[in-house]
Amino acid sequence: MTDKYCLIGENVSRSPSPAMMNAAFDSVGLDAVYSCENVARQAFRETFARLRSQTSGMNVTIPYKSMVIPLLDGLDEVSSRIGAVNVIKKEEARLMGFNSDANGILVPLREHGKESLRRALLLGAGGAARAFCEAMNQTGCTEVTVAVREPSRGENFIKEMSEVFPGIAFSITDIALLRDAEFDLIFNATPIGTGEQRLPDSLKRVIYGRSTVFDAVYRPMKTELIRTAEARGCATILGYEMLLNQGTLAFEIWTGKAAPKDVMRKSLLHSLEAAS
C-alpha cells in the first residue's frame, strides 16, 4: 500500500515540497507519495481529523505550527521546548510532532561557516522564529533582537523565549524604529521583501558590514532582502537552503533512511526555477 504524506497550510498550492519529497521517495525506492493540501482556518480541526486517518505523516506550515500541538499525542524535545511543530509522524495509532525547522537553519549556517554568533536580528515572531531561537541557543548566540511591526504582539513571544532560553538576552523593537547597529546574523521569518511588501528603509540601515543575511523566504530565490545584502557586501543564505535541510530531516524522521540530499536539492531548485 502506498504511504501518503502531505503538507498542510493555509496557502500551499505553489509549494515546491512535493517535487523535492517525491524525488526523494523515488530515489530510495519507497512506495510513497507527497502532496499539498490547503486548509482554511475554520476547517482546520475537521480536515486534520480526516488526514490523521489517511496519511503516514505530514508537514505543517503557516499558520498551524503551534495550533496543531493540542491535536497530537506527543512531541519531540525541540518542538516541546519551542512550541512549534512542522513534522508529524504516525507511529501506530499515535501522531508524534517534531520540529525540523531548527535543523533547516543550523545546517546552512554550518555549511557557510557561520557557527560563531553573538548578536542576531530576528524579523518576525511566528513558528519559524521559534525555531530560529532554538538554533541560536545551539550556536551559543547571546543576544537576539526581535523586530516586528507591532511590538505589543511580540512581547509574549520574547517572554516565552526568554524563559526557554535563559542564556539569550532578548529584546524587542518595531521594525520601523530599527537604528544603525551591527549584527552577526539577520534572519527574516516574515514575508517582508516579497510581493508588495517592500523592504523598509529602517531595515536597510542595519544591512551592512560583516553581517550574514539569511532569508527564510524561498520564492523568489533572491528576494529584495538578499539582493540588498549582496549589494552591500554581506554574506547571504537563501531560503531554499532552509527548506532543503528541514526536508531532509523530515524524510529521515518518516522513513528511518538517510535522505538523498543531492537528489532533493536538484529537484527543489528545478521546481523553483521552473516557477520563476
Catalytic residues: 65
Closest by alpha carbon to 242, among 215, 211, 270, 274? Answer: 215
Closest by alpha carbon to 4, among 29, 27, 36? Answer: 36
Interacting residues of 229 by C-beta distance below 8 A, sequence separation 6+? 186, 207, 211, 213, 235, 236
**Could you tell me the three cell numbers for 78?**
525541540
Closest by alpha carbon to 109, among 77, 76, 131, 135? Answer: 135
Q: How many CB atoms lie within 10 A of CB 235?
A: 15
